[in-house]
């Protein structure tokens, strides 16, 4: 799976202003609503589901990366968006580091395979320090899109 | 002489090895001094790294071969097998 298979480019935010975990997740869900990827009436439900998952254990998996996510019946395919925080957000990450790169995923309840393949893509690509650094420094959604496209083009296939 | 152990486990939980199980596996593995690796599809990944574990895309039913090298190798794989058997606490 590639970034282009699930990232909604129009919803990318290269400079989130939110400073808390819940606020940044809300901003990301809102951006998916703004581009028509989720129905308006579902925003609160989706947000609540994502926060509930965070209570089980932070999705801040280290390296300044977090993957907040949930399954939700309001989507019929896996969708996601990317947000970058310049100042870093306290996410109760496993390594205690602040989070700067966020990948939010919403998947249909019956598609665990797609979720796993998106996670694979994210973790495989973000093991590359140069890629992480470039993303952190990206100044616009266009620049983020360009980096994701480049990563897709260089993806190892398995 | 360093101890070596290997063991094959099966992913039993319906959602597969997603982030939460990967985290539990990495955390458990980190408690042991030995090197622990997972062999799957011609790849060899570090069981102590969530980033590495998640790249396996191990769905329900997938067989994974674990290899441990060093102190407490056998004990480590015993504990890991138990984690898989208990379905990471996700049994329905």
Tokens at residue A77, please? 């395919």
Distance between A113 CA and the closest CA of chain B, angstroms: 7
- Contact (Cβ atoms closer than 8 angstroms) between residue B23 and residue A61: yes
- CB-CB neighbours of A55 under 10 Å: 7
Contact criterion met (CB below 8 Å) for A126 and A101: yes
Measured in whole angstroms, how far is the alpha carbon of residue A76 from the centre of its chain? Answer: 18
Q: How confident is residue A8, by pLDDT bands cut at 50, 70 and 90?
A: very high
**Given B41, B50, B60, which is nearest A61 (Cβ)?**
B50
Look at A112 and B14 and tell me if their CB atoms are within 8 Å: yes
Chain A residue with the nearest C-alpha to that of B41: A158
Mean pLDDT of chain A, nearest integer: 95
Distance of residue B4 Cα from the nearest chain A Cα, in angstroms = 28
Pick the residue from chain A with its C-alpha nearest to B56: A120
What's the confidence (pLDDT) of residue A158?
Answer: 45
- For chain B, list the strands marked E by DSSP: 4-10, 35-40, 43-46, 63-69
User: Is pLDDT of A123 > 90?
Assistant: yes
Phi, psi for A2 (deg, rounded to 5): -110, 165
pLDDT score, position A54: 96
Per-residue pLDDT for A5 more than 80? yes
Place of tokens 């980096």: A147
Contact between residue A38 and residue A106 where contact means Cβ atoms under 8 Å apart: yes
Q: For B34, which DSSP code? A: S
Contact yes or no for B51 and A115 at CB 8 A: no
Active site residue B18: yes
Q: What is the largest CA-CA distance in chain B?
A: 43
Look up the ipTM and state it. 0.89
Residues whose CB is less than 8 angstroms from the CB of residue A75 and which lie 6 or more positions away in sequence, other chains included: A37, A38, A106, A107, A108
For residue B58, give both structure tokens: 């191990």
Query: Around A118, how many Cα atoms within 13 Å sit in the side-chain half-sphere?
Result: 26
Q: What is the pLDDT of residues B30-63, one digit of tens each?
A: 999 999 999 999 999 999 999 999 999 999 999 9
Q: Is B57 helix (H, G, I), strand (E, B) or coil?
A: coil
Supply angle C-alpha A108, A111, A113, rounded to 5.
140
Write b or e for each residue in A85-104: b if 16 or more Cβ atoms lie within 10 A of its Cβ, otherwise e: beeebebebbeeeebbbbbb
**pLDDT value, residue A94:** 87
Q: What is the tens place of the pLDDT at every residue in A26-41?
A: 999 999 999 999 999 9
Entry pTM = 0.94
Q: Tens digit of pLDDT for each residue in A72-118?
A: 999 999 999 999 999 999 999 989 999 999 999 999 999 889 999 99
B90 — pLDDT class (breaks 50, 70, 90): confident
């Amino acid at each position: 799976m590639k970034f282009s298979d699930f990232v909604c480019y129009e919803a990318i935010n290269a400079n989130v202003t939110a400073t808390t975990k819940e606020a940044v997740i809300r901003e990301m869900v809102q951006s998916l609503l703004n581009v028509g990827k989720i129905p308006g009436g579902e925003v609160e439900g989706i947000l609540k589901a994502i926060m509930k998952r965070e209570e089980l254990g932070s999705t801040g998996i280290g390296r300044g990366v977090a993957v907040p996510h949930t399954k939700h019946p309001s989507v019929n395919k896996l969708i996601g968006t990317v947000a970058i925080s310049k100042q870093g957000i306290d996410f109760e990450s496993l390594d205690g580091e602040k989070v700067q790169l966020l990948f939010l995923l919403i998947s249909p309840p019956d598609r665990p395979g797609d979720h796993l393949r998106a996670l694979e893509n994210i973790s495989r690509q973000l093991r590359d320090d140069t890629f992480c650094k470039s993303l952190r420094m990206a100044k616009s959604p266009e620049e983020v899109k360009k980096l994701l496209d480049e990563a897709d083009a260089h993806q190892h296939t398995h | 002489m360093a101890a070596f152990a290997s063991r094959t486990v099966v992913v039993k939980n319906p959602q597969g090895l997603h982030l939460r199980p990967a985290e539990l596996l990495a955390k458990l593995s980190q408690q042991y001094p030995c090197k622990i690796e997972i062999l799957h599809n011609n790849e060899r990944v570090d069981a102590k790294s969530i980033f590495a574990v998640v790249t396996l895309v191990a769905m329900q039913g997938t067989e994974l071969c674990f290899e441990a090298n060093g102190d407490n190798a056998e004990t480590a794989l015993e504990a890991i097998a138990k984690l898989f058997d208990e379905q990471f606490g996700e049994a329905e």
